[in-house]
Chain A
Amino acid sequence: MKREMVLNVNGEEHDVEIEPNRLLLEALREDVGLTGTKEGCSIGVCGACSVIVDGRLVSACLTLAAACEGKKIETIEGLARDGELHPLQRAFVQFGGFQCGICTPGQIMAAKALLDHNPNPTTDQVKEWMSANLCRCTGYYKILESVMAVVEGKVDEGRRDEAVRQARIQSLYQSDTYKSNASD
């Protein structure tokens, strides 16, 4: 039996009429019309459907929409404010933390949930937390670099980074190395 309810998504109330077994993922994509949240595995493994509900990161493919009634749902569409991208979004663009982009909303929401909770995670903490968000395109290095750039406050220093990169292009070998473990 369909039931009317109100879902609070990104600070806006949406009236929806849905079955009690409707998944949050379906409700967001089809009833609310926000398709930024993606579906990759449908079983809570890939993280493409990551959204934040009352401050907690959840897989929308495993969450019932009805269970989110009265709660605050945050999706990728709510991150930019007044046309201004969230620092994580800027970082992913600036540091190239995406390719096909299908995992990107989930990656950014997962990173946001982490940074909301702990603004200064170590690289290992980021790796562990983000390991529930699969990406088949990037090899993760630039995703990690993007998140760490926010942690380390480097996002607005884009131009300097760009200059360093440009200098590197001049050399024969253009290298991109991320040493996450300084002891190695």
Chain B
Amino acid sequence: MSTIGENASRVDGPAKVTGAAQYTGDLEFPGLVHVKALRSVHPHARLVSVDARAAEALPGVAAVLTRADLSPQNSHFGPVVKDQPIVAVDRVRYAGEVVAAVAAEEPDVAEEALDLIQVEYEPLEPVLDPIEAMSPGAPVLHESRVQSESRLDKGHYRYEDRGNVLTSYSVGRGDVDEGFVASDLVFEDTYTTPKIQHGHLEPHVVAASWDATGKLTVHSATQNPSSIRVQLAELFELPQSMVRVVVPYVGGGYGGKVHLRLEPLAAALARKARRPVQWKLTREEVFLTGHCHAAVVRIKTGVKRDGTILARQVEAVYDTGAYALTGPSTSRNGGEVSGGPYRIPHQRLTSYCVYTNTPPTGPYRGFGVPQVCWAYEAQMDDMARRLEMDPLEMRLRNLVHDGDVFVTGDTLEAVGLEDCLRAAAEAVEWRGGAEQAPRAAGPLVRGKGVAVMIKTTMTPSHSSAGLRLNADGSATLLSGSVDIGQGVQTTLAQMVSEVLGIPRERVSVTLPDTDVTPFDQSTSSSRTVFSMGNAAVAAARQVADQLLEIGAGELEADPADLELRDGHVQVAGVPERRLAFGDLFRARFGGAVGSLFGNAGFQSRGGVDPATGKGKASAFFFLSACAAEVEVDTETGKVRVVRLVTAVDAGKAINPRQCHLQNQGSMLMSLGSSLFEEMVFDNGQPINCTFLSYLPPSMQDHPETFTSLLVEHPHPDGPFGAKGMGEAALGPVEPAIGNAVANALGGSRLKDLPLRPERVVEVVRGGATDWGRSLQGLP
């Protein structure tokens, strides 16, 4: 029986329900010292002096790291541009930036030492808003753009020399200006999304040590051990073989643990202290370490009276904070799909990555796409209302389908989007027409909304895997993919077991240890099942071929007539003519010894030309839909999500239960960012960095109906047809809820997330709405 599509129980289940599963913060190291960081109180300031002498003299302090310890050429890091200092050098660029760090015997000694460090700042004018940051005359955060060598997509960015705009991306087709002229109606709106935080329950944590040979070992709660090894080797001028990155179980990531975060400082401090160091962030510090790009999206769309979209122009500004991290790729990723999953003949799509004096950002589930999806799907409903069309029908009229050429130049394959949309709408009993729910007499009104999303995955990217088949017929897959909760060990074991014809319980899958596991680009972009899956399947096929070859000799049969089944090689359809794997080992090695190896890499090809924005943007496309029903209290402004349904095209669900968990997690995460999650700043100072003041959704926020649907349009390049899907459900949730609220309020539109009660009340009172405003055509 095939294990593909089976709800295989998680191999990490027993460890995780008994408390035995080890996370980075659970590891013990002899001689460990604890790290605490001194952080800037200013959002922007020149660093005049840092004096750590008194701190260094405090008993129990092993070392203090300041800018004096950094060599000029190895002081900065970053995956795309090396703009982030290990500790602040000449300037601080956000309130919360690390200025110095102490390693001490006990955490409270380290805290005490921080108070002894004298720092003199000369405050500079900060720029906190990305639009202001783009304007001439704004204070400039970074003068240089030193590029990193560590990414496959290095050549795929368009750098801007001006001010705070680091990179931009644009792509187009047709002639938008002509398209607008030919349109019956043209709409122009601006939508915003705020800074939100990943909220992984495990704060960032790292342990670093150097051995006598000069080898650096880092245990880290990171999502991409191979990539940070490359960057650490570069930073500390070591061969990659002298850097070992080990990743135990990771307590949630959602993008928040991608790329170097704590590792450079921990490694530098461990080297200075000559002791292993451990640095665990507090919850407050997590908020200062990474979050989701806030965005301002201006979108102009021309439509025909029959609902056909003719032209669309988008300008999306992404606030990357004080340092770039993945800002260039996040903003490009959003820009590529900012026209939505629609056939639009005339498009001009532009996005910008802009520095501000706010904490650094980074990838967040959805990677720049939810921001634009919020915009194009909200405007879609407003246009439908103005055209007196059913919003579902208007979408169906314009959706992309198999074989369409996307604006980036990609030919779309395996597009199950229409099925997703229809299934989600059906699940909330979509009624057609504009009014979805009866208008009630009291303060409680109901409405429904739908939304769709398209998203690319990191392309090009690389994963390698090694397979070892043991003489007892069990197998070990060497994989550097991180378990961040998605169940990677289980799904990879399912795939390997399918190829080798052994029970999945006989396949063990490693967690990352770069001394042993081959390169894997990143556990992000929902790429693991697709990329590592392909590598694992290819490695397993190599071993399978060897088994068939040995078996052919022993069974005196043509390898083409043989199959692998239940740990045996057998003549297809003749179960009597078979040999156990152990017998094949005896035939090859003379006894129960030896290993059969398979080693394979999978590389997705493509990338976009920075000049045209075109190329092959994605190895596969994420496609998803959401439908929501809400109840709005028009007196208090409180929005209650009654029904929430997402449908995601998984290509082929290797383990449907795990796919549903990915969807359900995405759904509740974006329910939070739809209704209440937002990082709040006061003059550049973040003021709600705890779970009391920034509370993620709890079980109480659960909608009464909460449904995850999987659609399967197999992808020709995916293992067993699978595509990535881990973040697909997230994007359409915010606009579906927003559309449901607008529907409940008779079309009144909130354009800024989150849909906080006071904003809802303002709109109800006729304050801030201009739905369906058209620039031409109807008055």
Residues of A within 8 A of B (CB): 29, 34-43, 45-46, 48, 75-77, 79-80, 85, 88-89, 92-94, 96, 98-105, 108, 126-128, 130-144, 162, 165-166, 168-169, 172-181, 184
A41 touches B653 (CB 8 A): no
A38 touches B202 (CB 8 A): yes
Residues of A within 8 A of B423 (CB): 173
Contacts across chains A and B counted by CB atoms under 8 Å:
217
Residues of A within 8 A of B663 (CB): 139
Give Cα A173–Cα B10 distance, bound, in whole angstroms.
Answer: 22
Pull 11 A–B residue pairs with CB atoms less than 8 Å apart, ordered by A: A45-B695, A85-B17, A100-B201, A100-B202, A126-B699, A135-B201, A137-B661, A141-B664, A144-B699, A174-B659, A177-B705
Residues of A within 8 A of B21 (CB): 101
Residues of B within 8 A of A (CB): 5-7, 9-10, 12-23, 25-26, 198-203, 249-254, 282-283, 419, 423, 427, 483-487, 642-643, 647, 653, 656-661, 663-669, 690-692, 695-696, 698-700, 702, 704-712
B382 to chain A, nearest CB (A): 29
B23 to chain A, nearest CB (A): 7
Name which residue of chain A comes closest to B12, CB basis.
A101
B365 to chain A, nearest CB (A): 10
A46 touches B252 (CB 8 A): no
Residues of B within 8 A of A40 (CB): 201-203, 283, 691
A136 touches B19 (CB 8 A): no
B707 touches A176 (CB 8 A): yes
Given A137-B665, A138-B664, A34:B19 Cβ within 8 A:
yes
A41 to chain B, nearest CB (A): 4
Give Cα A83–Cα B500 distance, bound, in whole angstroms.
Answer: 32
B379 to chain A, nearest CB (A): 28
A92 touches B201 (CB 8 A): no
- Indicate which residue in A37, A93, A141, A166 contacts B706 across the interface (CB closer than 8 Å): A141
Residues of A within 8 A of B698 (CB): 130-134, 140
Given A85-B18, A176-B708, A177-B705, A42:B282 Cβ within 8 A:
yes
Residues of B within 8 A of A127 (CB): 699-700, 702
Give Cα A178–Cα B484 distance, bound, in whole angstroms.
Answer: 25
Given A99-B485, A142-B664, A136:B657 Cβ within 8 A:
no
Given A141-B664, A141-B706, A45:B202 Cβ within 8 A:
no
A46 touches B201 (CB 8 A): yes
Name which residue of chain B comes closest to A144, CB basis.
B699
- Indicate which residue in A103, A130, A141, A144 contacts B201 across the interface (CB closer than 8 Å): A103
B704 touches A179 (CB 8 A): yes
Chain A residues touching B, majority SS: loop
Name which residue of chain A comes closest to B26, CB basis.
A35
Residues of B within 8 A of A142 (CB): 657, 660-661, 664
Residues of A within 8 A of B485 (CB): 98-101, 137
A169 touches B486 (CB 8 A): no
A98 touches B706 (CB 8 A): no
Give Cα A168–Cα B682 distance, bound, in whole angstroms.
Answer: 51
Q: Which 3 A-B pairs have the closest CB atoms?
A: A36-B19, A102-B251, A100-B485
Given A131-B698, A136-B669, A100:B661 Cβ within 8 A:
no
B249 touches A174 (CB 8 A): no
B690 touches A45 (CB 8 A): yes
B285 to chain A, nearest CB (A): 11
Residues of B within 8 A of A93 (CB): 9-10, 13-14, 17
Name which residue of chain A comes closest to B663, CB basis.
A139
A141 touches B702 (CB 8 A): yes
- Indicate which residue in A105, A175, A176 contacts B19 across the interface (CB closer than 8 Å): A105
Give Cα A123–Cα B5 distance, bound, in whole angstroms.
Answer: 30
A41 touches B699 (CB 8 A): no
A77 touches B283 (CB 8 A): no
Give Cα A35–Cα B66 distance, bound, in whole angstroms.
Answer: 33
Give Cα A45–Cα B17 distance, bound, in whole angstroms.
Answer: 21
Residues of B within 8 A of A139 (CB): 661, 663-669, 706
A172 touches B702 (CB 8 A): no
Name which residue of chain B comes closest to A147, CB basis.
B699
Give Cα A93–Cα B19 distance, bound, in whole angstroms.
Answer: 13
Residues of B within 8 A of A35 (CB): 19, 22, 25-26
Residues of A within 8 A of B659 (CB): 174
- Name which of A36, A96, A99, A166 has the most chain B CB atoms within 10 A of its CB: A99
B690 touches A174 (CB 8 A): no
A136 touches B252 (CB 8 A): yes
Give Cα A137–Cα B697 distance, bound, in whole angstroms.
Answer: 11
Give Cα A105–Cα B251 distance, bound, in whole angstroms.
Answer: 12
B691 touches A134 (CB 8 A): yes
Residues of B within 8 A of A136 (CB): 198-201, 252, 254, 665, 669, 696
A176 to chain B, nearest CB (A): 5
B707 touches A177 (CB 8 A): yes
- Indicate which residue in A36, A43, A96 contacts B691 across the interface (CB closer than 8 Å): A43
Given A92-B13, A139-B666, A79:B251 Cβ within 8 A:
no
Give Cα A89–Cα B666 distance, bound, in whole angstroms.
Answer: 24
A184 touches B665 (CB 8 A): no
B7 touches A165 (CB 8 A): yes
- Name which of A128, A168, A175 has the most chain B CB atoms within 10 A of its CB: A175
Name which residue of chain B comes closest to A78, CB basis.
B19
B597 to chain A, nearest CB (A): 31
A85 to chain B, nearest CB (A): 7
A154 to chain B, nearest CB (A): 15
Name which residue of chain B comes closest to A158, CB basis.
B9
Name which residue of chain B comes closest to A96, CB basis.
B657
Residues of A within 8 A of B486 (CB): 99
